[in-house]
Structure 1
């Protein structure tokens, strides 16, 4: 998927759930695209500080859009997956 298509999906997710930040929507979009579901890899892929990704994941977890599945206590690398509600935000209307 191209960068433009990724950003389009991010914008669509934000449109569907207006309270989400672009970073939170980007995490959901990346999950939809099958990108690695860990905070450190995502942070590196989008050139964002790891701490910001961790904060975004905490918000997504609190909103019930992702489930945190593991954390390395030393590096804080966090693994996650989309919840059913999170997946629904990435699906085309009616799909």
Structure 2
């Protein structure tokens, strides 16, 4: 993601240098539409967030989101979350013991 955002930044700067100035809205839309399908929830979030009006703002949001995902990923990668109990209660019907 970091590389992708860097590439988007370079493209926008090159367009500006070639005197093809995109509006802030066009820049935000370009970045949002370039995101992978796995980031669909982020696309929706950025589209409806009123504070995301410039390239710099969406860039900052996406970098933060990427950092959050990286922080969570190692804790959940390939690890099943299993709760253990010290209780000896059976979960099924109880059998009577003879004896």
Q: Same fold (TM over 0.5)?
A: no
Structure showing the higher strand proportion among its residues: 1
Give me the TM-score of the superposition, normalised by structure 2.
0.29
Larger Rg: 2
